[in-house]
């Protein structure tokens, strides 16, 4: 069911369409019913089939949004290759000939893929921000100035990371990729960069950083290229890291507390305390990354 007070403005119809498009390609919940009118549930909603599994090891303390999830050596070794393979398979699919209802197709060879996203998040910031923030202004100007051309348009999950897939703890098998509400058609580097954000990762047994707590970054890139047949451009990867932090900051320090203030959510503690705190961390990372880019 689509909450009026979510920290990101999305449409349930897009998520429903994306699930239908990737079913048979990736493990996802079966999309069964879509209710766009508000009579039955009070807001637009969809119903999917049930999928068993957990989003984090049951021995861990509950964590907000998957932050700091530690899978341990066994699960990381089992889940990591699947995590990379599913993303590679998603991006390798060609949806140009079979449009997905509700998702606009940007033109390859242009900057439309990022133009549309930047315009959206710029508007969200203008509407929800309490006051200007130098990190946001710096990133906004840098992102518009360095917009990359998309070579190949892919369907993007939009929130691909730990916490957004269900797995069987005994077998180490990913049962379903979930939470597709941020999906859109764009540059594959956006999903890659987001999954590699420091906030989602954790150190492995050797001390090396594991992206989303699962796989070392260079291994991630090498396996992704091999499985998808698509190259990873390091310059575009850096660009989309900035973009990932940019839109995340807007959601965390603007939209989330604004919706809590307007009493649009039951997640007051998370939106007023946890999210702005994480947003402050992201602001620092964003500033450093832009200055070094």
Per-residue model confidence as pLDDT tens digits over 37-93: 888 888 889 999 999 999 999 876 555 556 778 899 999 999 999 999 999 999 999
Mean pLDDT of 86-113: 94
Q: Residue 20: what pLDDT?
A: 97
Q: Residue 97: what pLDDT?
A: 77
Catalogue the long-range contacts made by 74-77 (C-beta closer than 8 Å, 24 or more residues apart). Answer: 74/172, 75/167, 75/169, 75/172, 76/204, 76/210, 76/213, 76/214, 76/215, 77/172
Mean pLDDT of 275-292: 89
Using pLDDT thresholds of 50, 70 and 90, give the confidence band for residue 269: low
Strand order in the sheet with 215-216: 202-203, 209-211, 215-216
Mean pLDDT of 240-259: 91
Q: Residue 69: what pLDDT?
A: 84
Per-residue model confidence as pLDDT tens digits over 172-192: 999 999 999 999 999 999 999
Mean pLDDT of 279-292: 94
Q: Residue 3: what pLDDT?
A: 60
Q: Residue 148: what pLDDT?
A: 98
Q: Mean pLDDT of all residues in the chain?
A: 90
pLDDT at residue 272 is higher than 80: no
- What CATH number is given for 12-292 in this structure? 3.90.1200.10
Mean pLDDT of 1-25: 80
Q: Residue 274: what pLDDT?
A: 64
Q: Residue 240: what pLDDT?
A: 99
Secondary structure in 3-state letters for the chain: CCCCCCCCCCCHHHHHHHHHHHECCECCCCEEEEECCCCCCCCCEEEECCCCCECCCCCCCCCHHHCCCCCHHHHHHHHHHHHHHHHHHHHHCCCCCCCCCCCCCCCCCCCHHHHHHHHHHHHHHHHHCCCCCHHHHHHHHHHHHCCCCCCCEEEECCCCCCCCEEEECCCCEEEEECCCCCCEEEEHHHHHHHHCCHHHCEECCCCCEEECCCEEHHHHHHHHHHHHCCCCCHHHHHHHHHHHHHHHHHHHHHHHHHHHHCCCCCCHHHHHHHHHHHHHHHHHHHHHHHHHC
Q: Residue 161: what pLDDT?
A: 97
Q: Which segment of 131-135, 173-177, 254-258 scores lowest on mean pLDDT?
A: 254-258
**What pTM, to 2 d.p., does this model score?**
0.93
Q: Is the dihedral of CA 146, 180, 230, 185 positive or negative?
A: negative
């Amino acid at each position: 069911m689509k909450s009026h007070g979510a920290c990101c403005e999305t449409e349930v119809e897009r998520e429903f369409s994306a699930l239908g498009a990737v079913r048979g390609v990736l493990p996802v919940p079966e999309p069964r019913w879509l209710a766009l009118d508000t009579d039955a549930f009070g807001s637009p909603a969809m119903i999917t089939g049930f999928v068993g599994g957990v989003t984090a090891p049951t021995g861990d303390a509950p964590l907000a949004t998957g932050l700091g999830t530690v899978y341990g050596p066994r699960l990381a070794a089992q889940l990591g290759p699947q995590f990379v393979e599913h993303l590679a398979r998603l991006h390798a699919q060609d949806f140009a000939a079979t449009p997905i209802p509700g998702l606009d197709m940007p033109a390859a060879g242009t900057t439309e893929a990022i133009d549309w996203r930047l315009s959206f998040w710029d508007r969200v910031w203008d509407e929800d921000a309490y006051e200007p923030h130098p990190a946001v202004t710096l990133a906004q100007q840098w992102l518009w100035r360095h917009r990359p051309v998309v070579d190949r348009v892919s369907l993007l999950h939009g929130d691909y990371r730990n916490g957004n897939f269900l797995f069987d703890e005994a077998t180490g098998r990913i049962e379903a990729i979930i939470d597709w509400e941020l999906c859109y058609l764009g540059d594959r580097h956006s999903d890659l960069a987001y999954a590699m954000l420091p906030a989602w990762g954790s150190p492995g047994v050797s001390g090396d950083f594991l992206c989303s707590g699962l796989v070392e970054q260079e291994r991630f890139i090498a396996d992704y290229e091999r499985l998808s047949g698509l190259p990873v451009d390091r310059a575009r990867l850096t660009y989309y890291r900035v973009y990932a932090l940019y839109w995340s900051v807007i959601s965390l320090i603007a939209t989330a507390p604004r919706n809590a203030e307007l009493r649009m959510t039951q997640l007051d503690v998370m939106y007023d305390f946890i999210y702005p705190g994480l947003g402050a961390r992201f602001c620092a990372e964003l500033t450093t990354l832009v200055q070094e880019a």
